[in-house]
Chains A and B, each alone.
Chain A
Amino acid sequence: MSLWDWLFHRHQREEELDEEVQGHLRMAAQERREQGEAAEQARASAVREFGNVTVIKEVTREMWGLRWLETLLQDARYGLRQLRRNPGFTAVAALTLALGIGANTAVFSIIHATLLKPLPFRDPARLVLASATFGGTPNPMASAPDYYDYREQADSFEAFSAVLPFEQKTTVTGGAEPERVSFTYVAHDLFRTLGVAPAAGRWFTPEEGLAGGPPVVMVSERYAQRRFGAPRNAVGASLAVDGKPYTVVGVMPATFRFLFDADVWAPMRRGEAVARMPRQFHNWLIVGRLKTGVSIASAQRQVDVISKRLEQQYPASNTGKALQLDPLQAALAGEQTPRLFLLMGAVGLVLLIACANVAGLLLARGLIRRSELAVRAALGASRARIAGQLLVESVTLALLSGVLGVALAFWLSRLLPLVTGLGDLGSTAKGLDWPVLLFALALSILAGALFGVAPALRGSSRLLAQDLLSGTRTTGTMAGTSLRGALVVGQLAVSLVLLVGAGLLMRSFARLAATDPGFDVQHLLTGEIQLLEAQYPDPNQRIQFFDGLREDFAALPGVKAAGFISQLPIRNPANNVPAWDADHPPANPADARTAYKRIVLPGYFDAVRIPLLFGRDLGKGDREHTPLTMVINEEMARTLFAGRNPLGRRVSVDMGGPQPATFEVVGVVGNARLNFVGDSAPMAMYLSYYQFPQATLRFAIRTDQEPESITRTVRRLVLARNHDIPVENLISMERLIGDSLVPQQVSAIMVTLFAVVALLLACIGLYGVLAYSVSQRTHEIGLRMALGAERRDVLKLIVGQGFALTLFGVGIGIVGAVAVTRLLAGLLYGVKPTDLLTFAAVSLLLTAVALLASCIPARRATKVDPMVALRYE
């Protein structure tokens, strides 16, 4: 019988079999009647001769095939009935498991989205990320001239493209209001390389990637929808970007996403502005598509040859520089991977504990169901059959939990992308798709088998016939108790590992949040302003604008000071360039250390409260025709001038021109964080805006009230000065820092949450074992009390048992934690993986909670009435 028949014609076949048997009986009876037997007698004889109708039907049905499916369904139905009959047990077990399965499914859905699911590009296996390396360390950005050299010389690639991988904002005017949109430059063939067709219009052409090409941009479908009503309308439309008119040639589909959500892309034009920076400026991310049949290894060999050639050709800029090819997906997911695996490990442990708990519950219930199983065995069920039945029951329970778990996962998976930062790389599609659901299904079955195996083996191995005879009291349960004891020890150990991990992450996060950033983060409102080049072509106009704005800000009620800088700490990271002591230049220019370059208006240090240690702040006097000056941070003074007075010394900086620029040091300020909160203090130098009057500046306003309460005033002030300048994303420095720590915070909280759940489950397990032990030892306890034992002694007896289990668990857990937390090292800040305080505190906590859990059954034991206990036979 095929599965189809089984599904749809099973009943018919059952009926036919019945009719066939009845027909046989009728014919046999008829023949007997014809031979002279009485009707009644004939019928009875025919039935007797036929044999056991039920059994014969049964063995006949087995011939249909798919008998195992029948058995399975029968067992599952029976299992469901069992679960319905014990709603309390079912609820506890199913919720416990659902928690484990749900958490695992949610984390897996992220891993699947970032690491396993193919990127939503054409033939993504052939895409590689080419990272520039310095002395073997990935940067990973490469310089534009290097990029063009590789592009021209490497023929392993079908396409070799690049993108400016920093999310930038640019001003688009001409709409109802000026707006800031996310913008970046891409090589003309980036979208072709990735293999994503435009939703409307076309890709950039090679001519548009050359200097002097027509002014064109591509926009996102999202933006086209918002600005032009429909993608179709956008094509051919004019868009004023940064005050200059561009023609929209194509619209990328809404599903397209690469690195970040950009709304406007402009072609990287060889020989123009951004693509003209010299070889020392590494800001392009290279993406290549390997030719069909070319392995990444052979492409790497070719690229290495080119790197060597470039090294010889340009020793000043390219010594030690190379290009490293990695599969695109792995390379992009790189940073997220450890945190994802951390979470996967944590939820895996939670599931393990949940399984152990349910196994414990089932073992306990196995004792209750002993007589039922014994009856089945007595009626002829084989050991395998009983074990199978118990396993199917477990898996049924697990599948039920799986359904609940998926619901939980659906909710959790919305939370998890926060933990992992980006969460996804290629597409905006999220959620639980088929592979994830399959994972949940497989996990449920696996979990069911895992926690079902011990009870199944025990359920079938027991001397069942003896159980039938033994009546109420059992003596042969020591094995069951010790198995449950071992489960509990395991659970406590695993909980300890999780708790230690959680403790370390929490402490690490606390350290991170408490680091002194080197400036006063409270009461600072941050924002950014970009002047349109077309409106302010003269540098002096820009200086005038920002000077004026600074005075306006400072004059606002509730504002103490306002600072302007090219890149705010935390908010705008990166931008380090080679810098060295002009009197002691490095023998090899490639050896020069890099320092972070920031451009400030006077008063910045004052506004953010970075202390001025020596010398003076930059001032109005450091202007266009005066010598170049800079203020450096303590770290830079220490590194370049080790102990000597840095004031008046000269520093050479590679500014991207043919010759380095030389500055005089006029002041030294304290170290302050530049890139991110846990950053070490790198070298930093602050230049005068009057000498480098660029179009974009960021500001930090020191208020004496809640900083975000003045955002409207600030916006109005800027718009009053120039109606074409949008002021968006005004945000307090405290919030900025808080947001930047969200991944660490959420992963610490999640792991802690999981650890607490694990601890609770383990304690429930411990409680279960002790409670059972008390119920088994009622007789013994009664006897002890009758013989004069105090309640305190009884309490000690039971709590002692719990304490012993706990100590075992803690001991094993500590060993396990020492082995496991080493893996966390990369995620910790300022805390060692073997932090003694964390280990001690967590062990104490676990012991205390476990003892508390022991006290409940112990107190019940003290309530035992010796008379009742002894009579209870």
Chain B
Amino acid sequence: MKPKRERYQNRIELLQGTLDMLILQTLQWGAQHGYGISQSIRGRSGEVLQVETGSLYPALHRLETQGWVSSEWKQTESNQRAKYYRLTAAGRKQLLSEQARWKQIVNAIAGIMNPAPEEGQP
């Protein structure tokens, strides 16, 4: 049980609203099923970001209701039936605007956390 506890400690709570962006970003490289998306996010974040299934599936279904992703049933590599989500044109647009917003937030927070040295100070 030890590794699990460790993972728990390293886990970072996702910022409100960022999960949608991460899902859209992940789907950018091709259609994927829910399990694949969660694994992909975990892998790409170096095991830091753990997506709760309790958030993932509601988010996927919400994105589908909004028309940003579409879904279809396909066979996986291991020959299982799985529901694959794919980015729609609207979703691609949404992703672009989310990315722009994310950059703004990162810059803003960075500005607060690492203030540029004020003039006149040694």
Contacts and interface: CB of A to CB of B under 8 A. Distances in A.
Interface of A: 1, 16-17, 19-21, 23-24, 26-28, 30-31, 49-52, 55-57, 59-65
Contacts, number: 62
Interface string B44-78: 00000000111001101110010000000100101
B58 A27 contact: no
Contacts of A60: 57-58, 60-61
Contacts of A31: 39
Contact of A19 (B36, B61, B62, B83): B83
Nearest to B39: A31
A63 B19 CA distance: 15
A63 B65 contact: yes
Interface in B18-44: 33-36, 39
Q: Which 10 A-B pairs have the closest CB atoms?
A: A63-B61, A63-B62, A27-B35, A60-B57, A24-B35, A20-B83, A23-B82, A56-B54, A60-B58, A59-B58
B57 A21 contact: yes
Contact of A16 (B35, B36, B83): B83
B92 to A, nearest CB: 21
Contacts of A51: 52-54
Given A56-B57, A62-B58, A65-B65, A27 B81 contact: no
B35 A55 contact: no
B76 A27 contact: yes
A28 B35 CA distance: 7
B80 interface: yes
Contact of B80 (A17, A27, A49, A55): A27
Interface of B: 33-36, 39, 52-54, 57-58, 60-62, 65, 73, 76, 78, 80-83
Nearest to A23: B82
Contact of A24 (B34, B52, B54, B81): B34
Given A20-B83, A23-B80, A63-B62, A56 B53 contact: yes
B81 A59 contact: no
A64 B65 contact: yes
B4 to A, nearest CB: 9
A20 B53 CA distance: 12
5 contacts: A24-B35, A27-B36, A31-B39, A56-B57, A59-B54
Chain A CB within 10 Å, residue with most, of B34, B35, B76, B82: B35
Contacts of B54: 51-52, 55-56, 59
Contacts of B82: 20, 23, 27
Nearest to B82: A23
Contact of A23 (B52, B53, B60, B81): B81
Contacts of A17: 57
B34 A20 contact: yes
Nearest to A48: B4
B42 to A, nearest CB: 11
Contact of A64 (B33, B36, B53, B61): B61
A20 B52 contact: no
A62 B33 CA distance: 20
Contacts of B81: 19, 23
A96 B61 CA distance: 46
Contacts of B52: 51
A20 to B, nearest CB: 5
Contacts of A23: 33-35, 80-83
A191 to B, nearest CB: 58
Contacts of B60: 60
A60 B83 CA distance: 15
Contacts of B33: 20, 23-24, 27
A28 B36 CA distance: 10
B57 A20 contact: yes
A701 B52 CA distance: 100
A30 B61 contact: no
Given A26-B80, A51-B53, A61-B61, 11 more contacts: A16-B83, A19-B83, A20-B33, A20-B57, A21-B57, A23-B35, A30-B78, A56-B53, A59-B57, A63-B61, A63-B65
B107 to A, nearest CB: 32
Nearest to B83: A20
A121 to B, nearest CB: 50
A49 B42 CA distance: 14
A17 B83 CA distance: 9
Nearest to B76: A27
Contacts of A16: 73, 83
B48 to A, nearest CB: 17
Contacts of B76: 27
Contacts of B58: 56, 59-60, 62-63
A690 to B, nearest CB: 95
Nearest to A34: B78
Nearest to B57: A60
Chain B CB within 10 Å, residue with most, of A50, A55, A63: A63
A30 B83 CA distance: 17
A57 B57 CA distance: 8
A28 B78 CA distance: 12
Contacts of A27: 33, 35-36, 76, 78, 80, 82
Nearest to A25: B35
Contacts of B62: 63
Nearest to A56: B54
B69 to A, nearest CB: 12
Contacts of B35: 23-24, 27-28
Contacts of B73: 16
Contacts of B78: 27, 30
A24 B53 contact: yes
A820 to B, nearest CB: 54
B10 to A, nearest CB: 15
B74 to A, nearest CB: 11
A19 B74 CA distance: 12
Contacts of A24: 33-35, 53
A277 to B, nearest CB: 77
Chain A CB within 10 Å, residue with most, of B36, B57, B80: B57
Nearest to B66: A63
A144 B88 CA distance: 78
A546 to B, nearest CB: 89
Contacts of B83: 16, 19-20, 23
Contacts of A64: 61, 65
Chain B CB within 10 Å, residue with most, of A57, A59, A60: A60
Nearest to B52: A51
A59 B78 CA distance: 29
Contacts of A21: 57
A52 B76 CA distance: 25
A528 to B, nearest CB: 77
Nearest to B61: A63
Chain A CB within 10 Å, residue with most, of B53, B62, B78, B83: B53
A297 B22 CA distance: 68
Contacts of B61: 60-61, 63-64
A34 to B, nearest CB: 10
